[in-house]
Amino acid sequence: MSSTVTVNPAATETALPFYLPTGREVELCEKAHRSQLPLMLKGPTGCGKTRFVEHMAARLGRELITVSCNEDTSATDLLGRHLLVGGDTVWNDGPVTRAVRSGALLYLDEIAEARADAIVVIHSLTDHRREIFLDRTGEHLRAGDDFMLVVSYNPGYQRSLRELKPSTRQRFLAIAFDYPGEDDEVRIVATESGTDEATARKLVRIGRKIRQLTELSLMESVSTRLLIAAGKLIAAGIPPRLACTTAIAGPLSDEEEALAAITQLIEISI
Ligand SMILES: Nc1ncnc2c1ncn2[C@@H]1O[C@H](COP(=O)(O)OP(=O)(O)OP(=O)(O)O)[C@@H](O)[C@H]1O
Ligand SMILES: [Mg+2]
């Protein structure tokens, strides 16, 4: 299988994964689910897209099936294939087929990376038909009311070399994600890393300053994920500056000048 597939069983209301909304995304996703409309999440790395999907799957009481798409992801990977089991050929559902059968929330991460034949599979699922056709078994499968498709796509952030065709992207509602505002990000970093609020605020301020350093021409700037990693190192007893150079400066760049600028900023800030 050329894509990673993970399955999270439906969580109960008491065990919702922590997600701090930064806009009306929760309501929009609930309404999209109810209206059977597929959803596209756009935004830079580490800003909460995957966490949001985990939270929404639990909130909607749906199993979450995630496929991390890459340039080898094919229609067969998504729909399924015949496997040889003890001399017999046995049909094996792929993640999309399983999600349609069970009414799961299907998350196709980095959809634009997948091969064209895989993206075509999605077309019939994302319009009024809401169905897939398994040509190997001759089966037409219609998605039930609970099934929902969510995809992520990061075009403007240079992660993805591929663009989605208008005929694909116009099948989705789109919610733009970005780094949270200062107070929200402090709460997220403190909650997720276990540091005190004052330390979380210092980390977030470092993050916000680095994000303003546009002259560093970083592919993508410092994510909430990296700030949380720095917080975790500090909570584990690593001195703050070392934690920040390890968790923030190093992962952001290999260029000496950029590293020097980020390190200097860290040193005056923590
Ligand atoms: N609004 C939020 N509420 C709670 N946690 C958040 C939020 N935003 C970010 N996080 C935290 O940041 C981490 C990184 O977010 P996540 O993995 O969801 O990013 P992503 O947008 O899916 O990134 P990528 O594009 O690289 O897959 C999460 O594990 C979570 O700890
Ligand atoms: Mg993600």
- Tens of pLDDT along 241-257? 999 999 999 999 999 99
13, pLDDT greater than 90: no
Q: Are residues 107 and 236 in the same domain?
A: no
The CATH number of residue 52's host domain is: 3.40.50.300
The whole-angstrom distance between residue 42's C-alpha and the CA centroid of its chain comes to 9
Domain end call among 129, 157, 176: 176
Ligand 1 site, residue 225, Cβ cutoff 6 A: yes
pLDDT (tens digit per residue) in 122-171: 999 999 899 999 998 999 999 999 999 999 988 665 555 678 889 999 99
Q: Are residues 117 and 50 in the same domain?
A: yes
Q: Quote the pLDDT of residue 11.
A: 66
Q: Are residues 85 and 29 in the same domain?
A: yes
pLDDT (tens digit per residue) in 36-55: 999 999 998 999 999 999 99
Ligand closest to CA 18? 1
Q: Quote the pLDDT of residue 12.
A: 59
Query: What is the CA(109)–ligand 2 centre distance, in A?
Result: 7
- Give me the residue label for tokens 């977030």: 204
Ligand 1 site, residue 245, Cβ cutoff 6 A: no
**Whole-prediction pTM value?**
0.94
pLDDT category at 4 given cuts 50, 70, 90 is confident
Q: Are residues 157 and 30 in the same domain?
A: yes
59 pairs with which residues across the strands? Answer: none
Among 176, 173, 148, CA closest to 60? 148
C-alpha 80/C-alpha 189 separation (Å) is: 40
Ligand 1 site, residue 188, Cβ cutoff 6 A: yes
Domain end call among 157, 176, 195: 176
What is the number of the ligand 1 atom nearest to the C-alpha of 159? 25
- Residue 77 carries which side chain, given as an amino acid letter? D
Query: What is the CA(222)–ligand 2 centre distance, in A?
Result: 15
Q: Are residues 38 and 153 in the same domain?
A: yes
Query: What is the CA(199)–ligand 2 centre distance, in A?
Result: 25
Query: What is the CA(179)–ligand 1 centre distance, in A?
Result: 9
List the end-to-end C-alpha distance of the chain, in Å, as a whole number. Answer: 45
15, pLDDT greater than 80: no
Ligand 1 site, residue 121, Cβ cutoff 6 A: no
Q: Is 89:21 a contact under the CB 8 Å cutoff?
A: no
Q: Are residues 165 and 194 in the same domain?
A: no
Q: Are residues 115 and 36 in the same domain?
A: yes
Q: What is the mean pLDDT of residues 1-29?
A: 85
Residue nearest to atom 13 of ligand 1 (CA): 225
Q: What is the mean pLDDT of residues 66-95?
A: 95
- Residue 210 carries which side chain, given as an amino acid letter? I
Report the domain count for the chain.
2
Q: Are residues 35 and 139 in the same domain?
A: yes
Domain end call among 176, 203, 228: 176
29, pLDDT greater than 60: yes
Ligand 1 site, residue 55, Cβ cutoff 6 A: no
Q: What is the mean pLDDT of residues 4-32?
A: 88
Give the number of residues written for the chain: 270
Helix axis angle, 49-60 relative to 25-34, nearest 10°? 50
pLDDT (tens digit per residue) in 165-222: 899 999 999 999 999 999 999 999 999 999 999 999 999 999 999 999 888 877 788 9
Q: Are residues 85 and 119 in the same domain?
A: yes
Among 155, 151, 175, 176, CA closest to 164? 155
Q: Are residues 29 and 109 in the same domain?
A: yes
Task: Tell me, letter by letter, the H, E, C secondary structure of the chain.
Answer: CCCEEEEECCCCHHHCCCCCCCCCHHHHHHHHHHCCCCEEEECCCCCCHHHHHHHHHHHHCCCEEEEECCCCCCHHHHHEEEEEECCEEEEEECHHHHHHHHCCEEEEECHHHCCHHHHHHHHHHCCCCCEEEECCCCEEEECCCCCEEEEEECHHHCCCCCCCCHHHHCCCEEEECCCCCHHHHHHHHHHHHCCCHHHHHHHHHHHHHHHHCHHHCCCCCCCHHHHHHHHHHHHCCCCHHHHHHHHHHHHHCCCHHHHHHHHHHHHHHC
8, pLDDT greater than 90: no
Q: Are residues 171 and 190 in the same domain?
A: no
Residue nearest to atom 18 of ligand 1 (CA): 48
Range of the domain at 198: 182-269
pLDDT category at 1 given cuts 50, 70, 90 is low
Residues 6+ apart with CB under 8 A from 254: none
The tokens of 199 are what? 């330390």
Q: Are residues 65 and 190 in the same domain?
A: no
Q: What is the mean pLDDT of residues 108-134?
A: 93
Query: What is the CA(184)–ligand 1 centre distance, in A?
Result: 13
